[in-house]
Amino acid sequence: MDHLEHRLLPVNGIDLSLYSAGPADGRPLWLLHGFPECWHSWRQQIPVLARAGYHVLIPEMRGYGQSSAPQAVEAYDLQSLSGDILAAMDALGQQRASVIAHDWGAPVAWNLALTAPQRIEALVTMSVPYAGRPKRPATEIMRKLNQERFNYILYFQEPGVAEAELDADIARSLRTIIFGEGASDAFLQEKPAGAGLLDGLAEPPQSTPWCSEEDFSVYRRTFANGFRGPLNWYRNFERNWQLSEHLAGQQVLQPTLFLLGERDPVGRLEAVTLERMPSVVPNLEQQRFADCGHWIQNERAAEVNALLLDFLARHYPAGG
């Protein structure tokens, strides 16, 4: 990978661990990772985007790695998570930027586009779609639909429960969720409501073609202090809904590219949202990848990179 710089940036009441690459005077481009991932999830995009002339900024999101991990659950609402990025932009003297985001990074990106439209020029989101503020918190709907059936988001709600399971063997937990078919198995497997996330799942492989043992060691270090901070993101569905009342009916007007793997379990879970998304995101381009799972920027790196460069050249050129 090309030369990376690292700093701890005091912003928004926390220390944000921030990696960067590319020319310092290049147009800023933020890459936001998801769960259970790390800044290194963008390892196949960073050099490509940096060589294209962008100033690429890759944070370890709040609760991950070397960034601060507050204990309070409410410290992980979307307002706080988006505030970290906006405060970092301010600290770095960036008036405007574009954002590329995957998984949980996508809701942060959607929220940035909605709440700070004057700061965000273009958007690329992967896996998690957006179709406006729901009429009820998502967890309320999930509880009604999954009274006797396991649902991983509901399982994550009670502090300490999922941590006890996942922290018992962090490397195995990460491998089970990330490698092979683990994402689909872990999040969509039919089992009773009292089950654990990893119950009934096969022993995971040690590596995949797109994640070497050396790469995986970065994921392990990211979660060295456990899963509590990252899991707290899931515990704010109701709070996020309450804080977003002013966004009801608002559209995402920035040029937006949405990428999804056909085998991504989120595609099944968010089928209705995907169908409605074009009405809320009118300047939307979409691309789906056959025979691709959830970890799209790694599983199909070359194709994703080509799409990113084409989209950015049209809507956020490096020399613009």
Which residues are registered as beta bridge partners of 192?
Answer: 149
CA dist 300 and 146 (Å) reads 33
Pair type for strands 14-21 and 5-11: antiparallel
Write the CB contacts of 72 (distance below 8 Å, at least 6 apart in sequence): none
Residue 40 has a CB neighbour count (10 Å cut-off) of: 23
Residue 164 exposed, middle or buried by CB count within 10 Å (0-12, 13-18, 19+): exposed
Which residues are registered as beta bridge partners of 64?
Answer: none
Marked catalytic residue, from 40, 102, 294, 315: 294
> Pick from 254, 246, 228: which is nearest to 132 by CA?
246
Q: Which amino acid is at 309?
A: L
> Pick from 10, 154, 5: which is nearest to 88 by CA?
10
> Pick from 252, 308, 273: which is nearest to 120 by CA?
252
Q: Is 294 a catalytic residue?
A: yes
Marked catalytic residue, from 33, 55, 84, 103: 103
Catalytic residue set: 103, 294
